[in-house]
Amino acid sequence: MMFIVFSILSHWLIVLALSPLFAGIIAKIKAFFAGKKGPSYFQLYFDLRRLFMKNCVYSRSTTWVFRFAPIVNLAAVLVLSLIIPLGSFKAPVHFSGDILLAAYVLGLARFFMIIAALDTSSSFEGMGASREAFFSCLSEMVLFMNFITLAFLTHSISLSTMIGADIPMSWKMAGTVLLLVVGSLFIVLLTENSRIPVDDPDTHLELTMIHEVMLLDHSGVDLGFMLYASAIKLFIFAGILVPIVYPVQTGIPLLDTLIFLGGMLGLSIVIGVVESTMARLRLNRVRNLLLIAFALAFFGFVVKMWKG
Amino acid sequence: MEKILQFPWQVPFGELSLRLDSLSLIFIVAVFILVLCAGTYAAGYMRQYRGKRPLGLHIFFYLLLSSALVFILLADNVILFLGAWELMTISAYFLIVFQDDDASVRRAGFIYLIASHCGTFLLILMFFLMAHHAGSMDLTLISHAGFSPFLAGIIFLLAIFGFGVKAGFIPIHIWLPHAHPAAPSHVSAVLSGVMIKMGIYGICRVLWTINVLPDWCGYLLLLIGVVSGVMGVLYALGQHELKKLLAYHSIENIGIIAIGLGVGLLGRGHQMPFLAVLGFGGALLHVFNHSIFKGLLFLGAGAVIQKTHTGQMDQMGGLARSMPLVSLLFLVGAMAICGLPLFNGFISEFIIYFGLFQGLFHLPLQGAFACALGIIALALMGSLALACFTKVYGTVFLGEPRHPGIQGGQTPALMLAPMLILGGICLWIGLFPQTMAKMAFSAGAYLSHSQISTLNMGNIFLPLSFIIYGILLFLIVVIFLAGLRWKLLRGLTIPLRETWICAFSQITPKFQYTSSSFARPIVDFFKGILFFKREGGEVKGNFPLKTSMASSVHDAVEEFLIKPMYRRLTVLSKKLDINRIRYTQMYLMYILLYLIFLLAWKLK
């Protein structure tokens, strides 16, 4: 019992400590490509500290839902982070079906995000909420298609096993399948975390915004919770992708953790490069991108079925 | 577990033979809970009609419907079953047409009556086919007779279509979206919560009676589930009327149940009792859960409509401030129907997902493919339902009223109490699912003709308990963060301002997104399979004046299948009309001649 509590707390400590840095690295890379010096790697830590000190401002239209949504959002990603293995730090929670809990806890957070946006009675936020609801339908379908393919490959529905020890073996046996899954999951990562080419995390005030516009009316502590939650969410999705792409396991705890962190660094560079070199897609193209991601995962499944 | 009670009965071939087994038990529990809650609610809700409408008659039919439901579940004899079935159909008709001075209500009632009787016709065929083959009207005896695959297939198809009309499978669901909004809210709750489940019960009873079914039956059921589920929730998204939206959601949930039954049937056909128990058990638990949360949602919708006098969501808004308790309970129902953790919907969906993944691993290739399809469909349904209920909750209860006439008010305690009970059950199953899950699994085992004690049910109860720990952990984190937020904001006065709206100075509620605009991207994406109509809305000239736009989603089945068929039938009957004899006396003579013929034939 004590051990589980300890491992949960240490897991949270790592996630809470590293996730803003991960977002900071991406921001730095984007600044580099734009020819700017850019904010410090630790800018998000300063931002969060400042926001936690500040007071909130609320609209008269809002109810308790609006105040509650950031809490639910942060709590959801924190619970979600427990099923992700981080290098040699095994996931504290793993059981058959944990991916379903993860997907639906994420759904819970999304539910509250959307109704909080509608709570403000602003047409801006309504727009964002509507788009978020639509694109998340597609991205959730893609996510589940990936789960199916990975589950079919590993005969397990626990994330720790699906992206765990068998992955190096699977690359030899079914490299094509994993390649397709990686491509598909990468698109899901970009969509779910509102990255270019789907969305732009830096601007809240454009009519084409999807997810980001829902942060528009949050302020102070609430905004801090929201920003922290999105940083952690990005970290989690990267944490799912990295063990598949860097399937190196040495058995030495320190080395494994270093390899994992190196992988995370590499992935943040890739995300930064993608964000810097691509333009944002027109809004009605985003769904095509997601359908492509679905097709990739589906082909992975078909290939696996065909090869047996 | 089985209890059988038999009495002689004066009806030819009939016997008052009642039977209570694990399968009917779970349905009966749902019926009792919902009928009691909705009845209590009605005592408060119908007060507005006192002295204006025959309330005694309404309550008479309500009680008649309740007893008919129980008799259907207990009947162990074909004649008794069909009698109770007919009693249910007729009494529900009188409940639906309560406000019979409204032409649209009368029409809805009529559609319901015709659709139900088309279904009953197939059921009579099916039961007589079974009884003829087995040589008995007793269901227990019929279950002992072996059926050839061909005959079993025919009976299965008749059951799917006959019971499917009542349950609301997609191409034959047309009465549902008409009848539910027409009926008073507590009646809608009972119709959607338990009456349409009688169709599911009927299918389960047939699955139980016929032990061996051809392979394709499971695939067909799964496919019907996928189509009904996805189309049901898409139609729901396109609706502007609150109760019509909820009616389409019932179709979605029936789809989820059918997916579970399909998986169970595949498991039973492939001699995988664990898979069968998961599929059937998940489906039956969802039956129970759906009656609870859908009942809650309809009762909540009734409380709203009682105050706003309209079901049009695009006019509502901001009701959470004037009706806090109703809005909270509606939120519970909405989260439960989306299958979000904390409430009961998640538990049954999790079991069905779990079954589908087991099927993916262990079934042969085509079975695995079907299961993958089921998983994708469930995921899509889940996120579409989330879009749909954020739309409902956001436009009805949050934001500002979109029409000046919309204001909430006090809801009588007699209406709130049943909603509280239903909401409490949602939470209870969401956090402590053991009791109901065990009941559902034993019903599932009964349906799959396997002994539950021989199976390792820990394989599902262990993940379930982990799920509960996960949810409890989530709650702890939420409480901790709420405390943290409280501590950070302590001592500060929190300023309230207007919503920032691009520096517009004149803020009106018209700026808000409506439910139609919220659903627009999704409806637009699926317009290939939905019948989406949009009129007006173009901007003309350099200085556009007042303009209007209307959009609506119509039921493609109704528009392209039922209506043309109906038109053909009208033309045909017009043609046959020429040969009609216009004298009543002639008809009487025909009847007399026929009777004489029958007499002569019998006396021969």
Q: Are A78 and A70 in contact (CB under 8 A)?
A: no
- Which of B209, B154, B196 minimizes the C-alpha distance to B449? B209
For residue A114, the model assigns a pLDDT of: 92
Q: Please, what is the angle between helix B324-337 and helix B344-362, to 10°?
A: 10
Instruction: Say how many C-beta atoms besides its own lie within 10 A of residue B451's C-beta.
Output: 10
Half-sphere exposure of A5 (CA within 13 A, CB side): 3
Q: Please, what is the angle between helix B273-308 and helix B413-431, to 10°?
A: 160
- B498 in contact with A, Cβ within 8 Å: yes
* Tens-digit pLDDT profile for residues A94-122: 888 889 999 999 999 999 999 999 888 88
The contacts found for A256-259 with CB under 8 angstroms, 24 or more apart, are: A256/A87, A256/A88, A257/A86, A257/A87, A257/A88, A257/A89, A258/A87, A259/A87
The rounded distance, in Å, linking the Cα atoms of A45 and A36 is 20
pTM of the model: 0.93
The rounded distance, in Å, linking the Cα atoms of B548 and B49 is 36
* Tens-digit pLDDT profile for residues B145-177: 888 899 999 999 999 999 999 998 988 888 998
**What is the rounded average pLDDT of the residues A234-251?**
85
CA distances from B402 to B126, B315, B325 (A): 51, 5, 21
The rounded distance, in Å, linking the Cα atoms of B408 and B398 is 12
Preceding peptide of A197 cis, ω within 30°? yes
3-class SS string, B100-126: CCCHHHHHHHHHHHHHHHHHHHHHHHH
Q: Are B49 and B84 in contact (CB under 8 A)?
A: no
In eight-state DSSP terms, residue B317 is -
Q: Are B511 and A121 in contact (CB under 8 A)?
A: yes
Nearest to B375 among A110, A117, A148 (CB): A148
Cβ neighbours of A204 in B, within 8 Å: none
Q: Are B230 and B381 in contact (CB under 8 A)?
A: yes
- What SS3 class is residue B19? strand
- B361 in contact with A, Cβ within 8 Å: yes
The rounded distance, in Å, linking the Cα atoms of A224 and B532 is 41
Which tokens belong to B492? Answer: 């500060």
Cβ neighbours of B341 in A, within 8 Å: 101, 104-105, 108
Only one residue has tokens 């046996």, namely A173
Is 80 exceeded by the pLDDT of residue A20?
yes
Is 90 exceeded by the pLDDT of residue A214?
no
- B496 in contact with A, Cβ within 8 Å: yes
DSSP character string of A147-210? HHHHHHHHT---HHHHTSTTHHHHHHH-HHHHHHHHHHHHHHHHHHTT-TTT--TT-S--TT-S
CB contact under 8 A, A222 and B321: no
CA distance B493 to chain A (A): 8
Tell me the percentage of chain A whose pLDDT exceeds 90: 43
For residue A172, the model assigns a pLDDT of: 76
Burial grade of A277 (CB within 10 A; 0-12, 13-18, 19 or more)? exposed
Is 70 exceeded by the pLDDT of residue A207?
no
Q: What part of B 163-192 touches A (C-beta under 8 Å)?
A: none
CA distance B231 to chain A (A): 14
Instruction: Say how many C-beta atoms besides its own lie within 10 A of residue A254's C-beta.
Output: 10
Domain positions in chain A are: 2-307
For residue A197, the model assigns a pLDDT of: 84
Which tokens belong to B418? Answer: 């049943």
Q: Please, what is the angle between helix B458-489 and helix B434-447, to 10°?
A: 150
For residue A205, the model assigns a pLDDT of: 62
CA distances from B206 to B126, B134, B152, B303, B582 (A): 10, 14, 10, 38, 45
The rounded distance, in Å, linking the Cα atoms of B119 and B113 is 10
Cβ neighbours of B380 in A, within 8 Å: 137, 140-141
- Which of B338, B420, B499 minimizes the C-alpha distance to A112? B338
Beta bridge partners, B497, equal A59
Quick one: pLDDT band at residue A308, thresholds 50, 70, 90? low
The parts of chain B modelled with pLDDT lower than 50 are none
**What is the rounded average pLDDT of the residues A138-149?**
92
Is 90 exceeded by the pLDDT of residue A204?
no
Residue in A5, A111, A282 to test binding to B, most B beta-carbons within 10 Å: A111
CB contact under 8 A, A65 and B365: no
CB contact under 8 A, B354 and A157: yes
The rounded distance, in Å, linking the Cα atoms of A80 and A99 is 9
Cβ neighbours of A114 in B, within 8 Å: 386-387, 390, 394
Burial grade of B172 (CB within 10 A; 0-12, 13-18, 19 or more)? buried
The rounded distance, in Å, linking the Cα atoms of B526 and B440 is 35
Q: Are A87 and A256 in contact (CB under 8 A)?
A: yes
Which tokens belong to B117? Answer: 């009787």
3-class SS string, B379-397: HHHHHHHHHHHHHHHHHHC
The rounded distance, in Å, linking the Cα atoms of B425 and B285 is 13
- B387 in contact with A, Cβ within 8 Å: yes
- B145 in contact with A, Cβ within 8 Å: no
**What is the rounded average pLDDT of the residues A27-56?**
90
Which tokens belong to B567? Answer: 């038109």
CB contact under 8 A, A221 and B474: no
Only one residue has tokens 């001592």, namely B491
Burial grade of A205 (CB within 10 A; 0-12, 13-18, 19 or more)? exposed
The rounded distance, in Å, linking the Cα atoms of A48 and B254 is 46
CB contact under 8 A, A79 and B473: yes
How many angstroms separate the most distant Cα atoms in chain B? 101
The rounded distance, in Å, linking the Cα atoms of A195 and A237 is 12
Nearest to B481 among A75, A114, A152 (CB): A75
Burial grade of A120 (CB within 10 A; 0-12, 13-18, 19 or more)? buried
Q: End-to-end alpha-carbon separation of chain A, Å?
A: 41
Only one residue has tokens 């739309």, namely B391
Quick one: pLDDT band at residue A162, thresholds 50, 70, 90? confident
CB contact under 8 A, A136 and B383: yes
For residue B458, the model assigns a pLDDT of: 82
In eight-state DSSP terms, residue B42 is H
The rounded distance, in Å, linking the Cα atoms of A24 and A268 is 9
Only one residue has tokens 């997601």, namely A290
For residue B76, the model assigns a pLDDT of: 87
- Which of A63, A57, A113, A124 minimizes the C-alpha distance to B318? A63
- Average pLDDT score, chain A: 87
A160 backbone dihedrals φ, ψ, rounded to 5°: -60, -35
